[in-house]
Amino acid sequence: MDNQLIQNCRAIAQQWLDSPVYDEATKAEVKALLDAEDATALVDAFYQTLEFGTGGLRGIMGAGTNRMNRYIVGAATQGFANYILKAFPGRTDLSVVVGHDCRNHGREFAETVANIFSANGIKVYLFESLRPTPEISFAIRQLKAQAGVNVTASHNPKEYNGYKAYWDDGAQVLAPHDTGIIEEVNKVKVEDVKWTGNPDLIQIIGGEMDWDYLQAVKEAMVDQEVINRQKDLNIVYTPLHGTGRVIIPEALRSWGFQNIHVVTEQMVIDGNFPTVVSPNPENSEAMTLGMKLGTKLNADLVIASDPDADRLAIVCRNPKGEWEILNGNQTCMMFAWYIIANKKKLGQLKGNEFLVKTIVTTELIKKIADKNGVEMMDCYTGFKWIAALIRENEGVKKYIGGGEESFGFLPFDKVRDKDSPASICLICEIAAWAKDNGKTLYDLLMDIYLEYGFTLNHTVNVVRPGKTGADEIKQMMVDFRGPKAPKTLGGSKVICTKDYQALTATDGEGNVMKLDMPATSNVLQWFTEDGTKVSVRPSGTEPKIKFYIEAPAEMGCPKCYPSATEDAMAKVKAVCKDLGI
């Protein structure tokens, strides 16, 4: 490890020890890092200051500039407050919404945020207790606030916490606000933070907003009659110890579902997530207790939300009666199909509707939209980009749904972030529709594959923690743009390369076209002759680089699904070998 880097980190850590601002517990933790023989932990804690990425601020809790603690939260909030005051000069009615999820230190951080905003003369609507991320987004719009903060690390492991920053449209901050906030945050010294709150400017909110939000969620419903006929659909739900525990069962009941069961052990609010290895619904292990209860109760489907209740996971039965976990691409595809098909059948489509998916999400959604004459837009990973397209088209085109492969969907426009309460209600409506037609969700998925073609979506996460890992990930992207750029993948010729950093698309003959995107992004994509698609991007919130591989295969009948999956997986493995991952 670079000796100069270690010395720089030691110097910053010593400043923390010498400053009167930091509390004794923090200083003790810093001293332990300084006294350790191995400097790795010290460097990881101090080599950089956490910055806003695609999901805001997120990191491991602990002492240090690269850690989530009240001082980093405080400096970020002071910088955010300074930016809000600059962005709305002369306004005396500025307000923000502040919430948190079930994470350890969540309430402490949220109250710290509220105190600092109020100390800067900004009114704060502080939720009385933990609330879903989408409800924070909704509340910003409902209360006409200028900004908002939700203290959450979403689906990350228990060691993490985070800070999602929102703007006045209820979406996470985009340019120029994201860089503007970072500039202000970087100017702030801990000594500058106004820690002492003004109680007169802090208003506690809760039940009334829950009611308004639940009423809005019902706008995502497509067909009430289907639910009325299948109100006894047997549903098992788990919040994975998080914020969905109250509001999601309430939402389901408000839609008309009457047979809802919960995983009792996971209804307990606990930031240590004792019943799962990681509270990420993308991990099949997190669904184990739900499936166990589903088996006991002979449930039709099992559903989970992540700790801040923006993502969802769905488990349904295959023809053998076994539980089958749907991936994010499959759920997104099913939402798109159902919304289009049934809105069309009920005469709810006027011709100006559009769907949105992220560039790494399955291309089958575009096939569904194209065949049915509905516009489909592509955007970057992260729901702030979906929200940006909703905002740009407001009043001209009607948003009817958007999602991404990482288990997030938004089926209505009253919220500007992914929304598991609304999506869970809608997937239960879809299951009710399927049951009404003598099918399961699994059967419906097979029908979609048979009509639009089968592809397998597989994500490979290459984790490289710390400073050395960050350098390695950076070099991988450089290599893929240069000497390691693939000519073939899985035995099929690359016929198009999209580089979203250069905003260019290059075909197999070397012809270059410009990509029309709102900003640059460090993402590469390769498309091959046989329909394989590979996307690679470093994560904006975690120490890893992600490879999204979509591989096609022939599927002639529902019973061919396992063999088609096997054939596509062989292609995925060949692609991984070609990429050296």
Active site residues: 154
What is the token pair recorded at 34?
Answer: 């300084």
In whole angstroms, what is the distance from residue 521 CA to residue 516 CA?
12
In whole angstroms, what is the distance from residue 231 CA to residue 9 CA?
60
Longest CA–CA span in the chain (Å) reads 71
What is the token pair recorded at 431?
Answer: 């299951």
The crossing angle, in degrees rounded to 10, of helices 441-452 and 328-345 is: 80
In whole angstroms, what is the distance from residue 300 CA to residue 236 CA?
8
Backbone angles phi, psi at 379, to 5 degrees: -145, 175
In whole angstroms, what is the distance from residue 404 CA to residue 359 CA?
9
Q: What is the DSSP string of 477-536?
A: HHHHHTTT--SEETTEEEEEEEETTTTEEEETT--EEE---SS--S-EEEEETTS-EEEE
Question: Residue 201 has what DSSP assignment?
Answer: G
Nearest CA among 281, 224, 295, 231 for reference residue 260: 231
Give the bridge partners for 465, in sequence order.
none
What sign does the CA torsion over 218, 223, 225, 227 have?
Answer: negative
- Dihedral, CA of residue 359, residue 365, residue 369 and residue 370, to nearest 10: 80
In whole angstroms, what is the distance from residue 225 CA to residue 234 CA?
17
Nearest CA among 453, 430, 462 for reference residue 531: 453
Q: DSSP H helical segments within 133-196, as ranges? A: 133-142, 177-187
In whole angstroms, what is the distance from residue 61 CA to residue 33 CA?
14
Give the bridge partners for 301, in sequence order.
235, 316
What sign does the CA torsion over 241, 245, 249, 251 have?
Answer: negative
